[in-house]
Amino acid sequence: MSGTIRSLDRISCLDDFDEVAREKIDKSVYDYYDGGSDRELTLSWNKQMISERYLLRPRVMCNVSKVDMTKYIFGDKLSMPIGVSPTGMHKMAHPEGELATVSACDRMNCLMILSFFSTTSLEDVAKRAQYCTKWQNVYILNNRDITHNVVQRAIRNAYRAIVVTCDAPVLGNRRKDVRNEFTLGKFSLENINDSSVKQIRDHSSEIFDPSVSWQDLSALKKHVGDTVRIIAKGIMTPDDAELAINAGVDAIFVSNHGGRQLDGGPSTIEVLPEIVQRVGKRCPVFVDGGFRTGSDVLKALALGADMVFIGRPVLMGLASFGEAGVYKALSLIKEELRRAMMLTGCTSLRDIDRSILLERSPVRLNEI
């Protein structure tokens, strides 16, 4: 390995996993996981704006000898307000795939959202997850039967929520994947048993439905009733948050698909405050997009997010060291959040509010 990090005990932060993963997996796979759409402006801004837009105010002499990071969401008790975002095709990163990821989440009691495009069946993931809360991600495809089949199987296997990706009427233009001629290769999508698998394997946009609307989301909520929560993922404006609530969803998930859909759109941290304000106390608000440290997470919580989710760091941990890498990634960011809370005088999640933030005007350095 050409890099300086060769063992798990040398990993000191989530970014360290990138170096190891780049050495261990094919370039086309690394680029698929790491890349964004078009010029990757939004991908860059996700991380950049967290650090440049908001600063944390240190507090002193606050008696932070005991810090409680316990989070309750929809009645489930979690060890921290950080969860795993839906990311596809984990077996491209490691042979154990999603089973390794969920095993690490189980050890941590960390919420995991299983991707619609998982390379492990939702049933097998459910069997492995003995303790942690699990949610199932779905897309509303041209063939609605595929979506409904996954929803019903998820309900039967005790997935507590359905996270609907709302921002993919068509796939973003991911230039790296085009240049690499990326395909799934030998890997199978275990939750989709249909001719559409070939189109997904060929990275085709034909399976996605540009006619999808709020009526489809409302119909899905009416279909499942109170048996499972419905979460709208991909919300980036207050108006869409309002429409999602009107459609009956149980939570809003602020996300720009990791900068993989509309390039040139804002970072999630920039739009989070106005969406939180519009939603009020009507339902929880979640967020992902560029969060790499516990301090990043603390900023989002201070802006009103109920939970923060991470995706790429989990994949890079998985690619680097399998289950142990995922567990290390989750442990690191949890400990970083604990430390950041202590240094800002917060001993519980209830203490976190905007008083610990200092806002400054954003400067975009990568627009050219």
Q: How many Cβ atoms sit within 10 Å of the Cβ of residue 220? A: 21
Q: Which residues contact 316 (CB under 8 A, 6 or more apart)?
A: 14, 17, 18, 20, 21, 33, 325, 329
CA–CA dist 24, 93 (Å, integer): 9
Residue-level length of the chain: 368
203 is catalytic: no
Q: Which of 94, 148, 223, 257 is catalytic?
A: 257
Give the residues across from 6 on adjacent strands: none
Collapse the DSSP code of 271 into the 3-class scheme (helix H, G, I; strand E, B; otherwise coil) and give the result.
Answer: helix
Collapse the DSSP code of 70 into the 3-class scheme (helix H, G, I; strand E, B; otherwise coil) and give the result.
Answer: coil
CA–CA dist 70, 204 (Å, integer): 41
DSSP class per residue in 309-344: EE-HHHHHHHHHHTHHHHHHHHHHHHHHHHHHHHHT
Can you list the alpha helix ranges (DSSP code H) found in 173-311? 175-180, 196-201, 214-224, 238-246, 268-279, 294-302
Q: Which residues contact 95 (CB under 8 A, 6 or more apart)?
A: none
Structure tokens of 17? Answer: 């996993």
CA–CA dist 324, 303 (Å, integer): 32
Pairing, β 251-254 against β 229-235: parallel
List the catalytic residues: 257
